[in-house]
């Protein structure tokens, strides 16, 4: 059964314009459905099969959008904030639409791979602890790493508040730089994990979720659209 929705909602969502503006444009005859001008905003359409145009330009239907951002430092993983810039603020106009939000979160000073979408089911699958989706980071520390630390992380760290964590993979890249892979997403988890071994995190960058890898050519603050094949990599 085809999913039906109001014409004004469709125009609002796909063009990222306010619902009131969508209604006004429809009343003014700026929207056609299957070649016919429609002036009723409440018209129910089958978005997947209807040929809808706005001011003569075809409006492509995407039920949901999935955006990969290379999150820069100092930006909040949130939809909006009165005083600080959020990741949604950075999305280019041609990618924006209503109801976008980040999947999970990266701390304000953490950089790297962040998925932004309007698909709640996808987000839930990504962040559900039961899915055990791996997330890999590059961490720069304020002291030297040891092989004993890799073994400790492999066994599963107990945080200072008594929280027991699942095993994590710690690879030493340089004496104070590590690649760390976790399957949880607790508050400030990596910083708290290194705190257990008396190390502070100076820089932290997420480079992958599952098998979806941050493109090396994507600059901080820039975005790309993800397709279904890309999304499947998250769960591999």
Architecture (CATH level 2) of domain 66-128+212-234: 2-Layer Sandwich (3.30)
Q: Which two tokens stand for residue 232?
A: 């499947």
Which residues, at least 6 apart from 128, have a Cβ–Cβ distance to it below 8 Å?
none
Contact between residue 214 and residue 137 where contact means Cβ atoms under 8 Å apart? no
> How would CATH label the architecture of 4-58?
Roll (3.10)
CA distance 142 to 200: 5
Distance between CA atoms of residues 54 and 139, nearest Å:
48
**Are the folds of 66-128+212-234 and 134-209 the same?**
yes
- The residue ranges of every structural domain in the chain are 4-58, 66-128+212-234, 134-209
Which sequence positions are flagged as catalytic? 107
Q: Is the pLDDT of residue 1 over 60?
A: no
Q: To the nearest whole number, what is the mean pLDDT of the chain?
A: 93
Q: What is the pLDDT of residues 26-76, one digit of tens each?
A: 999 999 999 999 999 999 998 878 899 999 999 888 889 999 999 999 999
- State residue 185's pLDDT score: 85
For residue 84, what pLDDT is reported? 92
pLDDT at 60: 81
Please give the full DSSP string across the chain, using - where no structure is assigned: ---EEEHHHHHHHHHT--HHHHHHHHHTT-EEETTEE---TT-EEETTT--EEETTEE----S--EEEEEEPTT-BSSS--SSS-BTGGGS-TTT--TT-EESS---TT-EEEEEEES-HHHHHHHH-GGG---EEEEEEESS---HHHHHHHHH--B-TTS-B----EEEEEETTEEEEEES---TTHHHHHHHHTT--EEEEEEEEETTEE--TTPPTT-EEE--HHHHHHHT-
Kindly state the percentage of the chain with pLDDT values over 90: 76
What pLDDT digit, counting tens, does each position of 101-137 carry? 999 989 999 999 999 999 999 999 998 878 889 999 9
Confidence (pTM): 0.83
**Residue 101's CB: how many other CB atoms inside 10 A?**
18
Per-residue pLDDT tens for 172-214? 999 999 999 999 988 899 999 999 999 999 999 999 999 999 9
pLDDT at 20: 93
Q: How far is CA 222 from CA 75, 135, 198, 225, in A?
A: 13, 20, 34, 11
pLDDT category, 2, cuts 50, 70, 90? low
95 φ/ψ sector (left φ>0, alpha ψ -120 to 50, else beta): alpha
Decide if 167 contacts 153 (C-beta within 8 A).
yes
CATH of domain 134-209: 3.30.70.1560
């Amino acid at each position: 059964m085809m999913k039906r929705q109001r014409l004004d909602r469709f125009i609002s969502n796909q063009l990222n314009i306010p619902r009131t503006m969508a209604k006004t444009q429809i009343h003014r005859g700026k929207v056609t459905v299957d070649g016919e001008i429609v002036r009723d905003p409440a018209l129910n359409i089958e978005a997947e099969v209807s040929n809808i145009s706005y001011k003569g330009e075809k409006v492509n239907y995407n039920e949901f959008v999935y955006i990969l951002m290379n999150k820069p430092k100092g930006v909040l993983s949130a939809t909006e904030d009165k005083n600080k810039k959020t990741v949604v603020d950075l999305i280019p106009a041609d990618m924006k639409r209503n109801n976008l939000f980040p999947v999970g979160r990266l701390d304000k000073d953490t950089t790297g791979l962040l998925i932004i979408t309007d698909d709640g089911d996808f987000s839930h699958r990504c962040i559900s602890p039961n899915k055990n989706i791996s997330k890999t980071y590059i961490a720069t520390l304020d002291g030297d790493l040891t092989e004993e630390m890799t073994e400790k992380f492999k066994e599963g760290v107990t945080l200072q508040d008594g929280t027991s964590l699942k095993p994590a993979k710690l690879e030493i890249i340089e004496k104070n730089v590590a690649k760390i892979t976790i399957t949880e997403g607790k508050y400030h988890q990596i910083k708290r994990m290194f705190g257990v071994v008396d190390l502070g995190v100076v820089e932290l960058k997420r480079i992958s979720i599952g098998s979806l890898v941050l493109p090396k050519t994507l600059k901080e603050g820039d975005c790309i659209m993800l397709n279904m094949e890309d999304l499947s990599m998250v769960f591999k």
